[in-house]
Amino acid sequence: MISDTHGLLRPQAVAALEGCAHIVHGGDIGHAGILDALRAIAPLTVVRGNNDRDAWADGIPETASLDLGAVRIHVIHDLSQLAPGLAAAGVRVVVSGHSHRPKVEERGGILYVNPGSAGPRRFKLPVTVAELAVDGASATARIVELAV
């Protein structure tokens, strides 16, 4: 998982994503070339962030859902815009971005993952991506700090 690239796809992020089965981008992409590069690595699910306003982003949804094995994943850029009822809809994982703060937290039976920001460094926050491991109906996540 990756988020908040803001037009910068670092080689370290590409290396961290190599070999994954599916990539999820949590928004604030920056330009269409980022998506092309990610699609060259693995299938991609992406949502539009608040900074993805130009014409190239018009077709990118604000939310997306996908199933990886028996795990339903919901993707949204800004967690504050999350609609209620996800657990009833069978969502097991929520992926978001926006804050640039990497975080993995389980609440109410749902695993919330913010991969942080893989783009330009913001404040003193680390540059990160996240890894989601799915095993049957179980999902675990970890933050991967990039050496930049």
Beta-bridge mates of residue 66? 73
40 burial level (CB within 10 Å; 0-12, 13-18, 19+): exposed
- Residue 60: the pLDDT is 98
Range of the domain at 139: 11-145
Beta-bridge mates of residue 104? 113
- Residue 64: the pLDDT is 98
DSSP 8-class letter at 16? H
88 burial level (CB within 10 Å; 0-12, 13-18, 19+): exposed
Instruction: Decide if 37 is inside a domain.
Output: yes
Domain count of the fold of the chain? 1
Residue 128 tokens read as 């990160």
The pTM score is 0.95
Instruction: Decide if 55 is inside a domain.
Output: yes
Tens digits of pLDDT across the chain (148 residues): 999 999 999 999 999 999 999 999 999 999 999 999 999 999 999 999 999 999 999 999 999 999 999 999 999 999 999 998 998 899 999 999 999 999 999 999 999 999 999 999 988 999 999 999 999 999 999 999 999 8
Instruction: Decide if 3 is inside a domain.
Output: no
- Residue 148: the pLDDT is 84
Instruction: Decide if 2 is inside a domain.
Output: no
Instruction: Decide if 6 is inside a domain.
Output: no
Instruction: Decide if 92 is inside a domain.
Output: yes
Q: Are 63 and 38 in contact (CB under 8 A)?
A: no
Instruction: Decide if 5 is inside a domain.
Output: no
Closest alpha carbon to 109 in 91, 126, 132: 91
Q: What CATH number is attached to the domain comprising 20?
A: 3.60.21.10
37 burial level (CB within 10 Å; 0-12, 13-18, 19+): middle
Instruction: Decide if 135 is inside a domain.
Output: yes
- Residue 122: the pLDDT is 85
